[in-house]
Amino acid sequence: MHHHSNLSALAGATVLVTGGAGLIGSRLTARLRDLGARPVALCTMNAYPEYVYADLFGVHAEDPDVVLGDIRDTTLVRKLVADSDYVIHAAALADVAACTREPLAAIDTNVAGTQNVLDAVAAADRVRRMVFVSSASVYGDGNPEETDSPELLTMRQLLESVHGRIPPQFHEFTRMRPKSVYGNTKAWGEEQAALVLGQVGTSYAIVRYFSVYGEPQTIKQGSHSWVVAWFAARAHLGLPLHLNGGGRQVRDMVHVDDIAEGTLRALVSPRAHTETVNIGTGVPTSVRKVAQLVQAHYPNTPLLETPLPAGDPLGGYAATRRMENILGWKPKVTITEGVARYVKWLQNTPAAAPDWLRREPTAA
């Protein structure tokens, strides 16, 4: 199952990671250093307060391998890409709610910025492969009617009438149906990477991340998407956990360590050339289940059922066979273990449960 040899190809290589100071980016650069590569992190470092980067993610603007800058800066991006053996394009306005509030900002970063990176990669002779970081949000709420036979559909309707909704499994070959501005920019980025890099014959791979969590993830005001971090922080402060719509939404929770590992494998696996791969566990986990796992560590925490906000995706989970075949790997960290690790980290890093949370009228 394991092809460890693949990652050794990164020893001595220069790897540009756009968005390299964020939660996932900082994990990627740390893992690259362990492998003997030279990571270069390009980041604006404006998605979080400064202490988050410095104290939680361990990234400082003055670090020699951190370049403070924007993916829309053509000259800078060209220079960095020209000096790189590999590129991981992870920079994005990744907050789904923020993209919905400010669609032009999302287009500016996720569309124009991505085009800028693609142009630079297409023009560079040295780049061996680019990985474009996409998201399960390109699937929207899934489209079971396209993949199911009439008999299966009847069976599904019968089961749904008894159990409520059956979460869809998202396969890489199903049609993209994004339900958000963010998902739409990612769908565009996937198509554009294939178009631009396909024309010049530069190798690329596309990874679709499912719900990423894990220490040192920290919550942001006005963003409600990170269920493990939200629930743990609220429980840590003795606040109730709000289950929107009863917490029946389903997520495929992938630990950030596994996200980093899967991404690096997509960077070097020969079979990943021009492929699109889910990075998920293949296990559907309800939001209620996450709340219960957190509650197990903070037994006095009440769970409150609240209305489902408009546009909250009901969710689905990853089909993983293609990932296992192409990358020769599957994620290791279970949600139970991942929540336990996060809670332990939070207890050792109480500043990560921010004080403004106590004053929030309602939160996720």
Share of the chain above pLDDT 90, in %: 77
Coil, strand or helix at 331: coil
- Whether the model clears a pTM of 0.75, i.e. scores above it, the answer is yes
3-state helix vs strand vs coil in the chain, percent to 5: 45, 15, 35
Query: Which DSSP string do the residues of 43-106 spell out, in sequence order?
Result: E---SS-HHIIIIIS---TTSTTEEE--TT-HHHHHHHHHT-SEEEE--S---HHHHHH-HHHH
Q: What is the rounded radius of gyration, in angstroms, for the C-alpha atoms of the chain?
A: 20
pLDDT at 129 over 60: yes
User: What average pLDDT does this structure show over 164-193?
Assistant: 93
282 pLDDT higher than 70 = yes
Q: Which residues contact 134 (CB under 8 A, 6 or more apart)?
A: 186, 187, 189, 190, 206, 207, 208, 209, 276
The DSSP annotation for 119-134 comes to: HHHHH-SS--EEEEEE
- Residue 328 predicted with pLDDT over 50: yes
pLDDT in tens, 230-247: 999 999 999 999 998 899
pLDDT in tens, 16-56: 999 999 999 999 999 999 999 999 999 999 988 888 999 99
Quick one: average pLDDT of 182-204? 98
* pLDDT-based confidence at residue 363 (cuts at 50, 70, 90): very low
Question: Where on the phi/psi map is residue 45: left (φ > 0), alpha (ψ -120 to 50), or beta?
Answer: left
Query: Residues 314, 245: contact at Cβ < 8 Å?
Result: no
* Structural fold of domain 4-359: Rossmann fold (3.40.50)
Count of other CB atoms within 10 angstroms of residue 319: 18
Q: How far is CA 269 from the centre of its chain?
A: 20
Q: How do strand 276-279 and strand 204-209 relate by DSSP bridges?
A: parallel
Name the residue with higher pLDDT: 96 or 212.
212
Domains of the chain, residue spans:
4-359
Comparing CA positions, the residue from 212, 164, 183, 247 lying closest to residue 318 is 212
Peptide bond into 216 cis (omega under 30): yes
**Spatial contact of 225 and 31, defined as CB atoms under 8 Å apart:** no
DSSP characters over 150-176: HHHHHHHHHHHHHHSPPPPEEPTTSPP
- pLDDT computed for residue 141 by the predictor: 83
